[in-house]
Amino acid sequence: MYKVKASWKAFLVTLIVLAFLGLGWLRYKNFLTKGQSPPGAIKVLDQLEEKGIPDLHFKDIYQNPLSIKDFKGKVLIINFWASWCEPCVQEFPSMLDLIHKMSGKVQILAISADYNKEDLLLFLKAFKAENNPYFHVVWDKDQKIAKQFGTTALPESYILDRQGKLIKKVSGAENWSSPDAISYFERLSQ
């Protein structure tokens, strides 16, 4: 009888611990994929608005050098994403549709948080997004670029005007090719 009570108590303790771990994991997953900003991220955003976007230098996935200044004169969307992020995957086709409809007036700098480059390349191939002159992909293997922007949630995007000024931060997935979005980017690109 005593062994039954002890094993029952052990079972309950284990169940409670697993429930707390499960809830913690779900909250963490929602934090990563819902575009929520942790404390401190707002301070970085304020600095980006005040001081401007830093002129970052990096290489795209094809080893071509890129700089934020390369995009002056174009509206630029800096998008932090990953192929394993469900909301990122959902918004991806609309981003490609946007740059197609805008005919070069809008460019996208897609900063990938993928764990390995092979997954990233397979994803781009599946969406026929490789070698697009308006869609530039950078693999942020160590999250260095994301840290400079204070990005901790995916997807997260920063919209820069033609002069390179930060206009808007967008947290979470968007329909980038909706009629309202197209109208917004048409106005911004004039």
Closest CA to 102 of 159, 166, 171, 167: 159
Q: Same domain for 27 and 42? A: no
Q: Same domain for 23 and 48? A: no
CATH number of the domain bearing residue 44: 3.40.30.10
Task: Tell me the pTM.
Answer: 0.75
Q: Same domain for 118 and 27? A: no
Q: Same domain for 28 and 68? A: no
Q: Same domain for 6 and 96? A: no
pLDDT, residue 137, reads: 96
C-alpha to C-alpha distance for 126 and 26, rounded to whole angstroms: 29
Task: Say how many domains are in the chain.
Answer: 2
Q: Same domain for 22 and 100? A: no
C-alpha to C-alpha distance for 145 and 25, rounded to whole angstroms: 25
Q: Same domain for 42 and 29? A: no
Residue-wise pLDDT for 64-90, tens only, equals 999 988 998 999 999 999 999 999 999
Q: Same domain for 4 and 65? A: no
Closest CA to 54 of 150, 122, 142: 150
Q: What is the dihedral of CA 104, 161, 68, 111, to 10 degrees?
A: -80
Q: Same domain for 5 and 86? A: no
pLDDT, residue 157, reads: 96
pLDDT, residue 56, reads: 83
Q: Same domain for 57 and 96? A: yes
> Rounded to 5 degrees, what angle do the CA atoms 167, 45, 35 make?
90
Q: Which domain holds residue 128?
A: 37-188
pLDDT, residue 28, reads: 45
Mapped onto helix, strand or coil, the DSSP state of residue 121 is helix
Cβ-Cβ contacts under 8 Å for 179 (sequence gap 6 or more): none
Q: Cα-atom radius of gyration of the chain, to the nearest Å?
A: 21
Q: Same domain for 83 and 166? A: yes
Q: Are 99 and 108 in contact (CB under 8 A)?
A: yes
Which token pair is 33? 């994929």
Mean pLDDT by 10 residues, the chain (190 residues): 63 62 50 44 50 79 92 95 96 96 94 94 94 93 89 93 91 95 94
Q: Same domain for 101 and 152? A: yes
Buried b (16+ CB within 10 A) or exposed e, 113-122: bbeeeeebbe
pLDDT, residue 52, reads: 65
Mapped onto helix, strand or coil, the DSSP state of residue 99 is helix
pLDDT, residue 30, reads: 47
Q: Between 179-188 and 86-102, two packed helices, what is the crossing angle to 10 degrees?
A: 60
